[in-house]
């Protein structure tokens, strides 16, 4: 063989070897904290192994009664043998971000978040979140997720009016009804709308009603004027409603997500809790999931999201009365829990729901925050 030919052969062999080594290097699994999909760590099976090795997951602001989270956490823990540390279950979305900032680098730092849309975006802008796309990513509508995977909406519903029929003898059917003097010292929110996402969107819902639809979503002033009247009439109870205040008769009427009113029905023998989706303002919304950047248990955090967005996880939310973000895809594939699907709260006939955009929410929040304490 001539030297020139030999050199050519050797060159080809070296090139193939280098190419092979490069491919191997490229395919090398990433560490869980850098993984942007299950494939990055070698697939879902490998992610499960890594998560089991970590053995723990830190959550925050996940009450057992909220969208069936008690059973969601129990099933995840049983399925993977991972201990779930559920910290501060009654925290607001704003307090979740505070916890991420203040507990940075500590063992108690949250691994995952469940927050209102505006807080998810805020967390992303602050660089607090890690990008990750779950296996069922394509089923999540584009408008319901950050294109990089920094956050993605999870479940939602409609703002509804709940009331104790043992105390409230004239059932309210609309937000306008709540201004009636017969409801003096009876109407409450489940928190401060400047910090609580559900309370904030309850105010937005009244704005939609007062403004006659989208006009009210574009201008929160309609809602502020509504609550100014509510406070001036003495109908508003400035107490963050919870099962205890309801059982005590302190907050017999309150606004909250339709799927969250179930917790008040559990007051056996004390409360006759009824729920109505108001006829004058149908406002819907979804919360969002996110993984905390550089959290203590990065593999478990990513496995948690995979579980939540699987059919099993989505159906657990559905069984809690919430509408999971993949519901349309699951109905099409006939993988939804049919019994739970049939029990979703009815909405007023011919009512057109308003789903406030991020821009609408941010503008409303900017106006509401300084104005609310002055009403």
Task: Summarize pLDDT for 40-80 with one digit per residue, the tens.
Answer: 999 999 999 999 999 999 999 999 989 999 999 999 999 99
- 250-265 residue pLDDT tens: 999 999 999 888 888 7
pTM listed for this prediction: 0.80
- Supply the DSSP string of 88-138, one letter for each residue: -TT--HHHHHHHHHHTTTSTTS-SEEEEEHHHHHHHHHTT-EE----TTGG
With H, G, I as helix, E, B as strand and everything else as coil, classify residue 145.
strand
Asked if the model's pLDDT at residue 319 lies above 80, the reply is: yes
Q: Are 269 and 187 in contact (CB under 8 A)?
A: no
Give the rounded percent of residues in the chain with a pLDDT score beyond 70: 92
Q: State the Cα angle at 142 between 137 and 147, rounded to 5°.
A: 75
Whole-number mean pLDDT of the chain?
92
pLDDT of residue 62: 97
Domain spanning 32-156+285-342: which superfamily? Periplasmic binding protein-like II (3.40.190.10)
Residue 274, beta-bridge partner list: 163
What are the residue ranges spanned by the domains of the chain? Answer: 32-156+285-342, 158-284+352-374
Q: How many CB atoms lie within 10 A of CB 60?
A: 24
pLDDT of residue 22: 44
* Section 26-34 average pLDDT: 83
pLDDT of residue 263: 82
CA distance 62 to 6: 68
pLDDT of residue 268: 57
Residue 151, beta-bridge partner list: none
Report phi then psi at 34, rounded to 5: -100, -5
pLDDT of residue 69: 97
Strands, E assignment, the chain: 56-60, 83-87, 112-116, 129-130, 152-164, 187-188, 253-257, 273-276, 284-292, 323-324
Domains 32-156+285-342 and 158-284+352-374 belong to one CATH topology: yes
- 155-183 residue pLDDT tens: 999 999 999 999 999 999 999 999 999 99
Picking from 33, 32, 91, the residue whose alpha carbon sits closest to that of residue 59 is 91
pLDDT of residue 225: 98
User: What is 158-284+352-374's CATH topology?
Assistant: D-Maltodextrin-Binding Protein; domain 2 (3.40.190)
């Amino acid at each position: 063989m001539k030297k020139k030919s030999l050199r050519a052969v050797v060159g080809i062999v070296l090139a193939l070897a280098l190419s092979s080594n490069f491919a191997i290097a490229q395919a090398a699994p990433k560490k869980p904290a850098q993984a942007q999909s299950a494939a990055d760590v070698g697939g879902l099976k490998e992610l499960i192994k890594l998560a089991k090795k970590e053995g723990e997951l830190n959550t925050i602001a996940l009450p057992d009664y909220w969208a069936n989270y008690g059973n969601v956490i129990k099933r995840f823990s049983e399925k993977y043998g991972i201990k779930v540390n559920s910290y501060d279950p009654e925290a607001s979305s704003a307090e979740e971000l505070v916890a991420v900032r203040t507990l940075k680098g500590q063992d108690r730092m949250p691994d995952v978040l469940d927050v209102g849309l505006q807080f998810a975006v805020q967390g992303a802008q602050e660089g607090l979140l890690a990008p990750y796309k779950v296996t069922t990513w394509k089923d999540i509508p584009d408008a319901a997720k950050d294109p990089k995977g920094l956050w993605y909406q999870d479940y939602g519903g409609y703002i509804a009016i709940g009331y104790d029929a043992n105390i409230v003898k004239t059932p309210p059917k609309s937000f306008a009804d709540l201004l009636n003097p017969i409801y003096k010292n009876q109407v409450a929110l489940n928190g401060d709308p400047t910090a609580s996402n559900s309370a904030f969107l309850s105010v937005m819902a009244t704005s939609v009603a007062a403004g006659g639809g989208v006009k009210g979503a574009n201008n929160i002033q309609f809602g502020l004027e509504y609550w100014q009247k509510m406070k001036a009439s003495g109908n508003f109870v400035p107490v963050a409603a919870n099962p205890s205040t309801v059982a005590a008769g302190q907050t017999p009427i309150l606004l909250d997500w339709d799927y969250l009113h179930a917790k008040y029905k559990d007051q056996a023998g004390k409360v006759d809790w009824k729920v109505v989706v108001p006829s004058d303002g149908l406002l819907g919304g979804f919360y969002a999931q996110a993984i905390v950047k550089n959290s203590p248990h990065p593999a478990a955090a990513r496995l948690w999201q995979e579980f939540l967005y699987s059919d099993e996880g989505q159906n657990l939310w559905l069984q809690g009365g919430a509408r999971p973000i993949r519901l349309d895809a699951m109905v099409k594939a006939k993988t939804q829990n049919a019994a739970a699907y049939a029990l979703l709260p009815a909405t007023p006939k011919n009512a057109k729901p308003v789903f406030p955009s991020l821009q609408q929410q941010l503008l409303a929040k900017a106006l509401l925050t300084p104005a609310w304490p002055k009403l």
